[in-house]
Amino acid sequence: MTTENAGQFAVRLDGITKRFGDVVANEGVDLAVESGSVHALVGENGAGKTTLMSVLYGLYRPDAGTISVHGEERRFSSPRDAIDAGVGMIHQHFQLVDTMTVLQNIVLGQEPTSGGLVDQASAREDVKAICDTYGFDVDRYLDTRVEQLGVGVQQRVEIVKSLYRGAETLVLDEPTAVLTPQEVDALFDVMAELTDRGRSLIFITHKLDEAMTAADRITVLRDGKAVGTVDAATTSREELARMMVGRDVLFEVEQRETTPGDVLVDVDDLRVRDDRDLEQVGGVDAEIREGEVLGIAGVEGNGQSELVEALVGLRSVDGGSISFEGTDVTETSRRRRIESGIAYVPEDRQEEGLVQDYTLARNALLGNQTLDPFERGGFLDWSAVRDHADDIIDAYDVQPSDREAEAASLSGGNQQKFIVGRELERDPAFVVASHPTRGVDIGSIEFIHDRLLEMRDRGMGVLLVSSKLDEVQKLSDRIAVMYEGQFVDVVDPDDVTEHDLGLLMTGDSPTDDRSGDGDREVEL
């Protein structure tokens, strides 16, 4: 994706160091991004990728080092300074106002005026010119509220918004995290068009295949330091993984043959409403058996969250029933479901998984207060609680390895590892794992995958919800595709491609017409 301008540096970071108290997030990092190129930034969770880009974008001031844009040294005190210098950032969580139109979002704070009023015609003309230049289809949504758009379109709105502000270098933070395979392909086409027209891109990602596909060069961070930069065309996943974690990593999960046991969870005509009182799960039937993994694939927002919350007892059911080990648990509390052997790795680790100002020891107790050996004769055994926290920290390599550290002091990935450890170490009969490796580094992903399969092999039932299609395919015995609150198809992971799954996830049928009727029962 290089252009005739390649060789000139759009951005240079030299010796960037950023500290937060005693923690060194970046230490002497050098990064040089050629004009008209895509430069990927990869590394384990907590390696310092987002911190480094936050320094470039003016969110943080570096403690040492310099920033140069097109050869001119710059000092950024705020994102406004970075934007004025031609640096834009597309955050993983979009910075759009849902209730405003696309046009209003794009020009917000930069509205052209005429006679003291916003010049709507001029704004529309300017935005359409950008869309025409780069071949974007955003201009046909200018009068649509953002809340009515899919995530792929919202992402392009963010890009147009940055271009409208004059961005010549764009930082894309985990841009493929919530996209279907088809939307990822479309994003890569957008990236190619941007670089062909002289724009420069910094692509933060944890997906090594995507880095090698989309980037010209790749810089790897480890423990806050840049350990090397390689050409994407000549590197490999194995080399990048070694640079990231300092050892060889197994990318393929060893699937072991398993014989399904009895029906563990039976879901019959389940209907669930969301917080707006709109039906999000519309008559789902499912059977999950002992010793099997049922994966759910779907674009986020199609009812997965509501289904999961109903299964674990966090959301009331509007219709239908849930049976666990032959007992109707539709109306039972979350506490009773934990005691009966239902574990839950939540989608939002900070809001649902941990109490941020509790120590890890106290967080290890959550959900275990009434279970042996933590409760004895109506009193808590704090010695057992502390030992349990230490076991989780050690087994799941949680850093810092201090049971008295507050959860808020941990990086997102270490918080996730602690939650997974707490839930799996209960030795449950059934676990609902919602995005279990989100924000977790490669080495830890390998470990968590192996633990889930180990639990399955011991007869546990697993419901896996993940936005990572490769994860769903690797771990699942069957995959149910969810679209608009229903299972539109149930497929064998060995007989379906990511492309087929992507089509089903958007309501289309793959070429072999494996689409189902929308009310198909899941039987494993």
pTM: 0.71
Q: Is residue 401 part of a domain?
A: no
Domain boundary among 245, 274, 305: 245
Q: What is the pLDDT of residue 332?
A: 95
Q: Would you place residue 414 in the very low, low, confident or very high pLDDT band (cuts 50, 70, 90)? A: confident
Instruction: Tell me if 102 sits within 8 A of 149, measured CB to CB.
Output: yes
pLDDT in tens, 387-404: 999 999 998 888 888 999
Q: Is residue 42 part of a domain?
A: yes
Q: 356-382 as b/e, with b when 16 or more CB fall inside 10 Å?
A: eeebbbbbbbebbeeeeebbeeeeeee
- DSSP β-ladder status, 379-380 and 375-376: antiparallel
Q: Is residue 359 part of a domain?
A: no
Alpha carbon distances (Å) from 302 to 274, 490, 506: 11, 16, 10
The verdict on 62 and 179 lying in the same domain is yes
SS3 content of the chain, % helix, strand, coil (to 5): 35, 25, 40
- We report the CATH number of the domain holding residue 481 as 3.40.50.300
The verdict on 241 and 268 lying in the same domain is no
- d(Cα 436, Cα 448) in Å, to the nearest integer? 8
Instruction: Tell me if 234 sits within 8 A of 218, measured CB to CB.
Output: no
Q: Residue 2 pLDDT > 70, yes or no?
A: no
Instruction: Tell me if 138 sits within 8 A of 102, measured CB to CB.
Output: yes
The verdict on 479 and 505 lying in the same domain is yes
The verdict on 337 and 446 lying in the same domain is yes
Domain boundary among 218, 245, 272: 245
Q: Is residue 368 part of a domain?
A: no
Question: Mean pLDDT across the stretch 357-363?
Answer: 94
Q: What is the pLDDT of residue 523?
A: 41
The verdict on 143 and 291 lying in the same domain is no
Instruction: Tell me if 284 sits within 8 A of 267, measured CB to CB.
Output: yes
Q: What is the pLDDT of residue 253?
A: 57
The verdict on 226 and 275 lying in the same domain is no
Q: Is residue 390 part of a domain?
A: no
- d(Cα 137, Cα 120) in Å, to the nearest integer? 19
Q: Is residue 454 part of a domain?
A: yes
The verdict on 238 and 306 lying in the same domain is no
pLDDT in tens, 105-136: 999 988 888 888 888 899 999 999 999 888 88
Q: Is residue 448 part of a domain?
A: yes
Instruction: Tell me if 401 sits within 8 A of 391, measured CB to CB.
Output: no
The verdict on 280 and 145 lying in the same domain is no
The verdict on 462 and 491 lying in the same domain is yes
Instruction: Tell me if 283 sits within 8 A of 320, measured CB to CB.
Output: yes
Q: Would you place residue 343 in the very low, low, confident or very high pLDDT band (cuts 50, 70, 90)? A: very high
Q: What is the pLDDT of residue 16?
A: 97
Q: What is the pLDDT of residue 325?
A: 96
Q: What is the pLDDT of residue 461?
A: 96
**In total, how many domains does the chain have?**
2
The verdict on 34 and 121 lying in the same domain is yes
Domain that holds residue 66: 9-245
Q: Residue 46 pLDDT > 90, yes or no?
A: no
Question: Mean pLDDT across the stretch 24-45?
Answer: 93
Q: Residue 452 pLDDT > 60, yes or no?
A: yes
The verdict on 270 and 241 lying in the same domain is no
The verdict on 152 and 269 lying in the same domain is no
Q: What is the pLDDT of residue 67?
A: 96
Question: Mean pLDDT across the stretch 291-304?
Answer: 91
Q: What is the pLDDT of residue 513?
A: 45
Q: Is residue 380 part of a domain?
A: no
Domain boundary among 210, 245, 280: 245
Q: Where do we find the tokens 């955050």?
A: 91
Average pLDDT, the chain: 88
Least-confidence region, from 241-255, 269-283, 409-423, 432-446? 241-255
Those residues whose C-beta lies under 8 Å from the C-beta of residue 310, and which sit 6 or more positions away, are 270, 272, 281, 316, 317, 322
Q: What is the pLDDT of residue 251?
A: 57
pLDDT in tens, 178-227: 777 888 888 899 899 999 999 999 999 878 888 999 999 999 998 899 99
* E strand residue ranges, 98-231: 113-114, 117-118, 169-173, 200-204, 217-222, 225-231
Instruction: Tell me if 79 sits within 8 A of 57, measured CB to CB.
Output: yes
